[in-house]
Amino acid sequence: MSNLSPVATIASLSAHEGQTITLRGWLYNLRASGKLLFPIFRDGTGTIQGIVPKAAVPEEVFETLKNLTLESSVIVTGKVRADSRAPSGFELDVEGIEVLQRVPDETPFPITLKEHGVDFLMEHRHLWLRTPRQSAILRVRATIMRAAAEYFDTNGFIRTDPPILTPNACEGTSELFEMDYFDDDKAYLTQSGQLYIEATALALGKVYSFGPTFRAEKSKTRRHLTEFWMIEPEVAFLELDGLLELAEGFISHIVTTVLAQHRADLKVIGRDVEKLEAVVAPTPAGERGPFPRLSYEEAHAMLEDAFAKGLIETRHQDGDDFGSPDETYISSQFDKPVMIHRYPAAIKAFYMQPDPLDPSKALCVDVLAPEGYGEIIGGSQRVDSYDLLKSRIEAHNLPLDAFQWYLDLRKYGSVPHSGFGMGIERAVAWICGLDHVRETIPFARTLNRIYP
């Protein structure tokens, strides 16, 4: 009988009101109340509650459902009925059920509606993904990735894919995953595509890369993964001010897209959407409200002031990077992402262009997300002088021969150019309002976990 009615998805039930349809999915939950069963089915697109009165269905349908174990796979037929109280707006009057695989009684689905510890959930990540909140996060992640690429695709950028196996470091040598590369050679998993897309930017003008990146992070924080996805634009003839504009337009597009497409998912996740709306709220003139911009010096002064007033515990030392509590304090002063520029060159990467007005500062930017989420974007204008770059490589004790090709870019038609990288998982954590990046990616890789 299930073959006769049209196959529908839970997300598309509004097109089938009053019709008998077939759903293919899993039993998510089951409540029984005397001669009434209330199974909840899920199919990947959503969940729907079924109603099964004993008197209204064939005996074997009632008996099958009554004893069905959670997460058994099923094909269900039933009539779609609008119900304003239901989260999806509909309920299903179940008429028939076919069980594809019944979860054995001896090995019930390990994840129940009761609270589980994080370790348990991560150990069962392959099954945890099925729960509504985790599925909602993955849907939002997919949209963030699509909107991020879309912003560059529709603004004249060419996607160029850098290699994952590389002969040298990009972001410091202490966090490199090393592997043997035939005979006597070593290769390293890429930390960032930047150096390579500097080459493609000088070939194509405006480019971006989007792929997995790797850092052998020994730190156990809620922001660090050892494998994460980075999207990186790189633009010839772009200087720091233009880079800040680009980052602002890029983040605004992503937040706008998520708000337009994922209200229901954000609700399941428990996100306070007003905080996101503030990010893209227009000015009274109706324009997109600008993100605040602070120099490192201004940010430092803000922290000095906060320390004097007893608002933060540890004093920030001028010249040091900002710690997590510093970033949290700074970002809590604004309801939009904050762009901090011109950090001391000494604490930043070797490839950053010095500020001509104060060469001890780098023409760089970190974008801090609101609500204490910290850095989501790091970027800079790049050194464009051959001699300066060469001396930087030497001063950082990096192997000159591995960087000869990178130096070539400053020998053959060097131009000012800039770019940034955004970690997708940091963006997902902020936009979804999550405590930890481990929930932002299907299978997180961290210092202590590489299973499942």
* Cα dihedral value 361, 362, 368, 374, nearest 10: -80
Nearer to Mg ion, 193 or 378 (CB): 378
One of 291, 322, 420, 430 touching ligand 4AD (CB under 6 A): 420
One of 42, 342, 426, 438 touching ligand 4AD (CB under 6 A): 426
**Contact of residue 46 among ligand 4AD, Mg ion, none (CB under 5-8 Å per partner type):** none
- Residues of this chain, 353-392, that bind ligand 4AD according to CB under 6 A: 375-379
**Which residues is 206 bridged to in the sheet?**
235
Interaction between residue 423 and ligand 4AD (CB under 6 A) = yes
Nearer to Mg ion, 277 or 320 (CB): 320
Nearer to ligand 4AD, 74 or 170 (CB): 170
Interaction between residue 162 and Mg ion (CB under 5 A) = no
One of 26, 228, 329, 373 touching ligand 4AD (CB under 6 A): 228
Nearer to ligand 4AD, 268 or 279 (CB): 279
One of 50, 344, 370, 419 touching ligand 4AD (CB under 6 A): 419
CA angle 300, 302, 308 (to 5 degrees): 105
Size of the site for ligand 4AD (CB under 6 A): 24
Interaction between residue 421 and Mg ion (CB under 5 A) = no
Interacting span for ligand 4AD (CB under 6 A) from 45-53, 83-91, 394-402, 420-428: 420-428
Interaction between residue 39 and Mg ion (CB under 5 A) = no
* φ and ψ at residue 132, rounded to 5 degrees: -55, -40
DSSP codes of every residue in 122-150: HHTHHHHTTSHHHHHHHHHHHHHHHHHHH
* φ and ψ at residue 435, rounded to 5 degrees: -75, -25
3-state secondary structure of 227: strand
One of 43, 71, 95, 232 touching ligand 4AD (CB under 6 A): 232
Interacting span for Mg ion (CB under 5 A) from 12-20, 204-212, 371-379, 382-390: 371-379
Interaction between residue 230 and ligand 4AD (CB under 6 A) = yes
Size of the site for Mg ion (CB under 5 A): 1
The token pair at 385 is 């002088």
Residue 38's contacts (CB-CB under 8 Å, 6 or more residues apart) are: 30, 31, 32, 49, 50, 51, 52
297/333 Cα distance (integer angstroms): 16
Interacting span for Mg ion (CB under 5 A) from 60-68, 331-339, 372-380, 433-441: 372-380
**Which residues is 438 bridged to in the sheet?**
none
Contacts within 8 Å (CB) and 24+ apart, 322-331 = 324/221, 324/374, 326/299, 327/368, 327/372, 327/374, 327/375, 328/372, 328/374, 329/302, 329/303, 330/294, 330/299, 330/302, 330/303, 330/368, 331/368, 331/369, 331/370, 331/371, 331/372, 331/373, 331/374
Nearer to Mg ion, 50 or 378 (CB): 378
Chain residues in the site for ligand 4AD (CB under 6 A): 170-171, 192, 194, 215, 217, 224-225, 228, 230, 232, 375-379, 419-423, 425-426, 437
Chain residues in the site for Mg ion (CB under 5 A): 378
